[in-house]
Amino acid sequence: MARPHRLPNPAVFICDIQEKFRPAIHEYSKVISTAQKVLKASATLNIPVFATTQNAARLGPICPELSLPPSTFQADKTAFSMMVPSLRSALSSEKSSSYQVAIVGIETHICVTQTALDLIAQGHRVYVLADGVSSCNEGERGIALRRLESEGAVVTTSEGWLYECMGDASIDEFKAIAGLVKETKEKTSDAVQTLCKI
């Protein structure tokens, strides 16, 4: 399959979407549904996926409904940033030295923020998908997203990022992605209405 045209080296980061956090995170079901859509699109567009858990021995595994693809690089961590040595090494062993990284997960103001800042410092372009990140305290999200924009991250939506990845309706994968967008329209609308008030 051809690579997306507009973003030459996209990657997806799934940050700590673990079962134990389900009752605590604001609108967690919407974070999960956005992550599911991004994962399906990543398979279609052949985008590498990197996922972490935060102290899995204590906080448990990634939510089972995410169904991570077998090629996903996974790391457990106690650091708040996803950019632990094993993930840095895996990212650098890929084809490019600079990626356009989309981040979904939790918590916006802690692990997502520190991951984004580390990626930016290493020369990567960061896209924080506002309909796919949340925190325990709803008010933390907007402050964190505004900070990340000021630090150079792009705060956008999952749909906006997917279409930017493609860049052109003539690519082979467009029909499948357009179908995915249609299939997830209601859940996307709910997530955007709830989580994209910055």
168 is catalytic: no
Catalytic entry in 16, 37, 131, 165: 16
111 is catalytic: yes
Please report, as a single letter, which amino acid is at residue 35.
A
Catalytic entry in 15, 63, 111, 165: 111
75 conformational bin, left if phi > 0, alpha if psi -120 to 50, beta if neither: beta
Please report, as a single letter, which amino acid is at residue 4.
P
Residues 96, 3 contacting (CB under 8 angstroms): no
40 is catalytic: no
> Which helix (H) or strand (E) is 105 found in, with range?
strand 100-106
Distance CA 172, CA 170 (A): 6
Catalytic entry in 30, 37, 77, 118: 77
Distance CA 1, CA 18 (A): 31
Catalytic residues: 16, 77, 111
